[in-house]
Amino acid sequence: MSAPTVELMTEQRALVVGGAAGKIVWLTVAEYKVYEKLSADLGQFVTQAILHAALYGVADPPKSNSLQVIVSRLRKKLADAGAEHKILVVWKVGYRLTTGGEA
- Give domain status of residue 22, yes or no: no
Question: Could you tell me the CATH number of the domain that includes residue 46?
Answer: 1.10.10.10
Q: What is the pLDDT of residue 90?
A: 86
- Give domain status of residue 55, yes or no: yes
- Give domain status of residue 12, yes or no: no
- Give domain status of residue 15, yes or no: no
Cα torsion for 34, 7, 40, 92, to the nearest 10°? 40
pTM check: above 0.85: no
Q: Which domain holds residue 47?
A: 28-98
- Give domain status of residue 16, yes or no: no
Q: What is the pLDDT of residue 32?
A: 93
87 in helix, strand or coil? strand
The residues with which 6 forms a beta bridge, in sequence order, are: 17
Q: What is the pLDDT of residue 2?
A: 47
User: For the segment 27-84, what is each residue's pLDDT rounded down to a tens digit?
Assistant: 999 999 999 999 999 899 999 999 999 998 876 666 788 899 999 999 999 999 888 8
Q: What is the pLDDT of residue 1?
A: 37
Name residue 83's amino acid. Answer: A
Number of folded domains that form the chain: 1
